[in-house]
Amino acid sequence: MGTLSGLRRLLAGILLLGMTGTFLELLLLKHHEDGIQLVPLVLLATGVVSVAWHAWTRSAASGTAVRVLMALFIAAGLAGVYYHFAANVEFQRETDPALRGSALVWQALEAKVPPALAPGVMLQLGLLGLAYTYRHKER
């Protein structure tokens, strides 16, 4: 096994561990109360299957599936940060209607529920998945 092959296996393992851990954490946090909250759960479950499929077969179809899913992870991460941040801004405005500008932004970013930047993990997993498949020679 060459260095690049070993690195790809390591990336696949880290990616599978990250997706599985994030999936379980979201389940424990009951992140399925409405339809939009199901998006990361569905992506994570599908991501685990597609990365395992690609690690096993290294087919062109599995490589394409992983790359498409990782692009969706990135989009979901960005959208999730927006939704979390917007929910925090709304809550902060209800709590303190006089709060404006940078003070409002900081209060929203520092809020614990929902954590504004937590969906960024989807972005990180998506980038890791793209790195895993970068210039990968499928069979």
71: number of Cβ within 10 Å: 13
Q: Which residue is associated with the tokens 């880290």? A: 14
- Are residues 126 and 70 in contact, defined by beta-carbon separation less than 8 angstroms? yes
- Name the average pLDDT for the chain: 94
Summarised one tens digit per residue, pLDDT across range 44-62 is: 999 999 999 999 999 999 9
Residue 65 to residue 70: CA distance in whole angstroms: 9
Average pLDDT of the residues in 81-101: 94
- Whether the pLDDT of residue 73 is over 90: the answer is yes
Average pLDDT of the residues in 14-20: 98
Question: Residue 4's pLDDT is what?
Answer: 81
Percent of the chain with pLDDT over 90: 86
- Are residues 86 and 51 in contact, defined by beta-carbon separation less than 8 angstroms? no
- Whether the pLDDT of residue 138 is over 80: the answer is no
Residue 34 to residue 39: CA distance in whole angstroms: 10
For the chain, the domains span 3-133
pTM given for the model = 0.91
Question: Residue 139's pLDDT is what?
Answer: 59
Residues 6 or more apart whose Cβ sits within 8 Å of residue 56 = none
